[in-house]
Amino acid sequence: MPRPRVYRAEGVVLRRRNLGEADSILTVFSLGEGKFDAIARGVRKARSRMRGHLEPLTRSRLLLARGRTLDVFTQAETISAHRRLREDLAASAEALCCLELVDRFTGEREPLPELYALLVAALEALDAGGGPLAARHFEQGLLSLLGYEPRIDACALCEGRLPEEETLLSPTAGGLVCRPCRPRAGGGRAVSVTVVKLLRFARRVDAETFAALRAGPAEAEELRAAIAELVRYHLDREPNARRFAEGVGALDRLAARGRFP
Ligand SMILES: [Zn+2]
């Protein structure tokens, strides 16, 4: 039986690039189809009806027609516009990082419904003012869903018990490493007892619960750096949006010190 010419999808727009005078190619991460590119015709014209429903960060219900090379959006309807994410620079930077990680870690038309649910939850939590911990929850969840979960319940090398102390987190070894195993861990970064607890807690709770934790700025930053190192190791390069988020974070810190207008 031939595949139907039109199909429905629900997805989050990851990015958009221009095509010709008025069209765009959008990369969408969808619930049922995974990541795909499709063309939005005339979407850059002011009177386009689909325009507002196909912005990056927007979660939409989509109708698509199969094309010879790329499929074409025929209808789009917003489920969630994530308005706060557009108005709050720090929140939008965190959300864009989440989108970029999905884009870089996933292949075309590879359905990953659990990762989709995790992304939707992270965007909701960030939109509700959840702050950076919502993004950390997403990053850790993404690593574990894609098979890169670090071993954090015991030593990644000898499986021995980890005492409650500053512990080495080694991407090469695949997780936390006990003191005697450190010489063969292949590098990493020492993480505090609090960050070890945060890493463990993130696995057990949803984004909303994790985002509601009160972590101090130093701990939040340490957690960010620890997960960023794991992400970098598995991605083999620094995501672009991450550098943007770090830039925004630096601006915020300057503003907090009154050194930024
Ligand atoms: Zn060990």
Number of neighbouring beta carbons within 10 Å of residue 21: 8
Please name the residues in contact with 136: beta carbons below 8 A apart, sequence gap of 6 or more: 198, 202, 210, 220, 223, 224, 227
Q: What pLDDT shows up at residue 59?
A: 97
Q: Is the domain 6-81 a CATH 3.40.30.10 member?
A: no
pLDDT value of position 148: 93
CB 93 within 8 A of CB 237: no
User: How confident is the model at residue 175, as a pLDDT?
Assistant: 97
pLDDT of amino acid 243? 60
Query: Separation of 167 CA from ligand 1 center, angstroms?
Result: 11
CA distances from 228 to 5, 139, 236 (A): 42, 8, 11
The CA-CA-CA angle for residues 148, 158, 230, to 5°, reads 25
Q: How far is the CA of 185 from the centre of ligand 1 (A)?
A: 9
Distance from the CA of 179 to the center of ligand 1, in angstroms?
A: 7
* Per-residue pLDDT, 86: 86
Give me the pLDDT at residue 254, please: 56
Interval between CA 184 and ligand 1 midpoint (Å): 9
Q: Same CATH fold, 84-256 and 6-81?
A: no
Give SS3 for 119.
helix
Three-class secondary structure of residue 77 per DSSP: strand
Give the domain ranges of the chain: 6-81, 84-256
d(CA 51, CA 93): 22
Using the mean position of ligand 1's atoms as its centre, give its distance from the Cα of residue 174 in Å.
12
Q: How far is the CA of 190 from the centre of ligand 1 (A)?
A: 14
Cα 118 to Cα 23: distance, rounded to the nearest angstrom: 30
Instruction: In whole angstroms, give the CA distance from residue 166 to residue 160.
Output: 15
Q: Could you tell me the CA-to-CA distances from 162 to 153, 157, 192, 219, 227 in Å, in that order? A: 8, 11, 13, 20, 19
Centroid of ligand 1 to alpha carbon of 195 (angstroms): 19
What's the confidence (pLDDT) of residue 260? 42
pLDDT value of residue 248: 63
- pLDDT at position 190 is 96
Residue of 181, 80, 185, 64 whose CA lies nearest to 127: 80
The predicted pLDDT at position 250 comes to 61
Which runs of E-coded beta strand occur in the chain? 6-19, 23-30, 34-40, 59-65, 71-80, 167-170, 175-177, 189-191
Give the CA distances from residue 109 to residues 64, 120, 148, 160, 224, in Å, rounded to whole numbers and listed in that order.
14, 18, 21, 40, 30
Q: What is the pLDDT of residue 180?
A: 96
Compute the distance from residue 147 Cα to the ligand 1 centre, in Å.
21
Name residues of the chain where pLDDT drops below 70.
Answer: 1, 237-261
pTM: 0.89
Output the CATH code of domain 84-256. Answer: 1.20.1440.120
Give residue 259's identity as a one-letter amino acid code.
Answer: R
* pLDDT value of position 46: 87
- The CA 180 to ligand 1 mean position distance, Å, reads 6
